[in-house]
Chain A
């Protein structure tokens, strides 16, 4: 007896919720949180990855050049900019990794006051982590809260752990996230570049230096 009524309610419920989901996807922006304990994956909200030569700013596709300028402005305007290097650059697993590590350190030097807090591996740090000296992808918010980081840059973190960390940061903090990705980019970061290799990092460093000199 109750089965058709349930079906009817379910259909209406689905239609109304799908409509609001489509609407919210259209309007969705990847901006600093805290968004929610379980913030949605940006991809599920309609944010797509950039093509080659492009970047993402808050979910919108822009040219790589525009994205680099935006990164430089964010870093130079930050109170406590911090770089989070992941295992792919922290560990000298290849000549490529070492070259990238050196280029990233040059970028850090170009930003006044920029700190480095490493993500040496991905294992859950149980029973506790020292958030002052490291960041863990399973609870990156602890490091951000403890060090009052307002803008951060990730590089050298494997895709799935970068996505996890970026989503948790957006969910629980007001930190502005930047991902320098060697692959197709990160839609869960507020600004993301794709295909970032040594020469791209050096180009970004030059943009930072130019804007820094220009602001003097």
Chain B
């Protein structure tokens, strides 16, 4: 639903709300190429300088096919202190519960709005998705829920001081993991594919157009076919001890772009011209 201000209250609403109504992205089918020409659904955030995760969220939000009818479900992590700044419906679930909450939400929305697409998109960190919430994540895939799961992979628990996660690479030393990670990074791309996701992609904010295409594809496939998964590599300048100005270079150097789609998903994407 595209919001309108009740007559007479236009002048009392804070300026950012008026701008969102007058010049926001709702109902206008705007894309990443249009960034800078409209009022974005995110204005400011409290994350660290050089945070690739914040850049990823900005790009994800600008890529949503239908932001006015999207609900983002998140969980504890760096991203969760940014999420309240989004002009998108947002649910913060208990740590690890995000895919279970999203499943119930999507089912309820299908009943409540049978003739309308309401996109439910999980946006969570690697700890929430691949460690604490792995069971919830995988079971939503097993059940073929019509939701998109986007993992912001900064390869560690960053807002709690730098502990290793299962997505941290083998041998990496972090502030709170001084002996180095003893086992390899979890292969979430393969897990998603084998667990029933119809569309799986890996990308980084260093390739914004490709990120946009993958997020859009994931959401459109989730609407029509089944679960989808996008893994976005977004390294943490604070815990990986590199200069904020190096974030994009580092992201570009280490990104791995991959894409898998089922035959049904491929047919749909071709039909939609995505």
- A interface with B by C-beta (< 8 Å): 85, 89-93, 97-98, 101-102, 105, 116-118, 120, 123-127, 130, 133-134
Given A105-B8, A126-B46, 18 more pairs with CB closer than 8 A? A85-B9, A89-B9, A90-B9, A90-B13, A92-B5, A92-B7, A93-B3, A97-B6, A98-B6, A101-B7, A102-B6, A116-B9, A118-B13, A120-B13, A120-B17, A123-B84, A123-B85, A133-B14
Q: Is B4 engaged at the interface, CB distance under 8 Å to the other chain? A: yes
How many residue pairs, one in A and one in B, have C-beta atoms under 8 Å apart?
A: 54
Q: Is B12 engaged at the interface, CB distance under 8 Å to the other chain? A: yes
Query: How distant is the Cα of A101 from the Cα of B8 in the complex, in angstroms?
Result: 8
- B interface with A by C-beta (< 8 Å): 1, 3-9, 12-14, 17, 46, 81, 84-85, 90
Neighbour of A90 across the interface among B1, B5, B85, CB < 8 A: B5
A118 touching B14, Cβ below 8 Å: yes
B14 touching A130, Cβ below 8 Å: yes
Query: How distant is the Cα of A127 from the Cα of B85 in the complex, in angstroms?
Result: 9
B84 touching A126, Cβ below 8 Å: yes
Query: How distant is the Cα of A92 from the Cα of B4 in the complex, in angstroms?
Result: 5
A123 touching B90, Cβ below 8 Å: yes
Q: List A contacts of B5 (CB < 8 A).
A: 90-92
A118 touching B3, Cβ below 8 Å: no
CB-nearest residue of chain A relative to B90? A123
CB-nearest residue of chain B relative to A91? B3
Q: A90-B9, A101-B8 are in contact. Are A126 and B14 (CB under 8 A)?
A: no
Q: List A contacts of B90 (CB < 8 A).
A: 123
A118 touching B81, Cβ below 8 Å: no
Neighbour of B7 across the interface among A85, A98, A126, CB < 8 A: A98
Query: How distant is the Cα of A134 from the Cα of B9 in the complex, in angstroms?
Result: 13
Q: List B contacts of A90 (CB < 8 A).
A: 5-6, 9, 13
Query: How distant is the Cα of A112 from the Cα of B5 in the complex, in angstroms?
Result: 25
Query: How distant is the Cα of A102 from the Cα of B10 in the complex, in angstroms?
Result: 12
A101 touching B9, Cβ below 8 Å: yes
Query: How distant is the Cα of A91 from the Cα of B5 in the complex, in angstroms?
Result: 5
